[in-house]
Amino acid sequence: MAEYRFILDKSSKKHVCPDCNKRTFVRYIDIDKNEYLPEQYGRCDRESKCSYHLNPYSDGYAKWLHKKEQPCTARFIADWQPRKYFKAPQPPKAPAFIPIEVLNETLKPERYSQNVFIQNLLNRVAYPFHAKDVEAVTSLYYLGTIANGYRAGAITFPFIDITNNIRAVQVKQFDETNHTLGKADKLDKVILNGLKKENRAAPTWLTEYIEFGEKEGYYNCLFGEHLLKRYPNNPIGLVEAPKTAIYCSLYFGFPETPNSLIWLAVYNKSSFTFDKLKALQGRNVFVFPDLSKDGKTFAEWQGKAKEYEQRLKGTRFVFSDLLEQLAPESDKYNGNDIADYLIKLDWRQFRTEQPAPDPAKTEVCKKSEAPKKHLFFRNKETTPRPKPKAQPKISLSELQRQWYCLMLEAQFKGEPQPENTLKLGRCKSVEDVKNLFTTHYQAISSKATSEMLPYLERLQTMKEVLTT
């Protein structure tokens, strides 16, 4: 017969600790009845960090239960009750971020020769970019490189919030055609795996960061969100993946003028959330969802945006549905995005005559004097940039013209043209389809928005006739 009636459960089953809320709690069992004691009785395995332990013998529960079970001792039942455990209020834990020193390790210039994604932009894409532009976009978004280990040659996309805290760093590997190799990774996981391989202990910042991230999440801000304070009045171009934001910046230009777009990314389809997008309050946001079967992503994001506009004062979401209208079903099935179309075209046709940011005018800072904030690039000029008194009116002519040119070129030029006369309506016909497309395409490329609409409508009608 066992010496004690109440013992700790010897099985491997763990419960949620009433003190630290971790699933590390071992409850006491009544071996006579083969059942658990009330849920407050048990011991947390996290002895150093939690140390919660409530023993049924130490607080009188065992004695009370014994008297209760004896005959003719009902008067003793009301004398004592098992104590109820009230969790003491715990101070909230400080958020944990990736230290700037860790990010700076990925930004070492000598590593970029290993970065497959960056080298593709410089040498392997159909229309290689100027080195100055690639250097500018790298500095703008703090794109880095993994130099060693199983992710060697991968690019890093840091998610830095509006207060310059490094929330997460995505790690992605690409082949020489800039297609993703395998699943995306996280920098903290890459570092941890390297330490385990070398049989080294994880530093304090890493364990705290992982513990905080498992509870609160990692990608809790927009990719490129740190640019919002640097460019406080610019409109936003919002896409799904960081790679797409990089391509759009290289094609459509950098946010050096108040009307130029800042390209940001939400991370993935399910990340189009209010908590992320509230950082865009007061902005004009032009949203370009990835393609999806039956347009589900487009419809989902558009529905959410209408709700967010009511909650974010002064914020306007504008959606482009040209991809949804013109893209073939195969592209929708594959989930293509803007970058899949842009990379096939010459970026010089899309860039406005604005200068790229000069990386030479910025320098890396080790640490901000303000607590829990990091400043990465500091303008050397002593005079602060003047802020416009009012939000400038947004003109979509340049973006629309470039976007229409892209889509029309991609859709029409690859289609077989009919040899006979093409009838566009009861009283309209086209003798030379190829010539009509060429002249209208040139007109759209050179005219402002209001002037190009008749040409666009005629081409849209021709497209519908060709595809029916």
Using CA atoms, how far apart are residues 19 and 297, in angstroms rounded to an integer? 41
* 44 burial via Cβ count (<10 Å: 0-12, 13-18, 19+): buried
Question: Hey, how many other C-beta atoms are within 10 angstroms of the C-beta on 293?
Answer: 11
Using CA atoms, how far apart are residues 282 and 253, in angstroms rounded to an integer? 22
Cα three-residue angle 243-246-250, rounded to 5 degrees:
140
Please tell me the pTM assigned to this model.
Answer: 0.65
Using CA atoms, how far apart are residues 449 and 468, in angstroms rounded to an integer? 28
Question: Hey, how many other C-beta atoms are within 10 angstroms of the C-beta on 221?
Answer: 24
- Please, what's the b/e burial string for 257-278 (b: 16 or more CB within 10 A of its CB; e: otherwise)? ebbbbbbbbbbebebbeeebbe
Using CA atoms, how far apart are residues 431 and 246, in angstroms rounded to an integer? 42
Judge whether 214 and 21 are in contact, CB under 8 Å. no
Using CA atoms, how far apart are residues 395 and 260, in angstroms rounded to an integer? 10
DSSP string spanning 341-358? HHTTS-GGGT--S-PPP-
Q: Return the pLDDT at 91.
A: 67
Mean pLDDT per 10-residue segment, the chain (468 residues): 78 86 89 87 83 85 79 55 59 86 96 96 95 96 95 97 96 92 94 93 94 90 97 94 96 87 95 96 93 93 95 91 82 91 85 55 38 32 41 41 51 48 63 70 60 68 64
Using CA atoms, how far apart are residues 37 and 61, in angstroms rounded to an integer? 10
Cite the beta strand spans of 337-430 per DSSP E. 362-364, 377-379, 422-423, 429-430
Using CA atoms, how far apart are residues 398 and 396, in angstroms rounded to an integer? 6
Q: Which of 146, 402, 183 is nearest to 286 (CA)?
A: 402
Residues of the chain by 3-state class (helix, strand, coil), percent to 5: 40, 15, 45
Q: Which of 148, 150, 158 is nearest to 114 (CA)?
A: 148
Q: Which of 226, 250, 17 is nearest to 141 (CA)?
A: 226
The encoded tokens of residue 14 equal 């763990």
Judge whether 276 and 221 are in contact, CB under 8 Å. yes
Answer positive or negative: Cα dihedral of 272, 273, 276, 279: positive
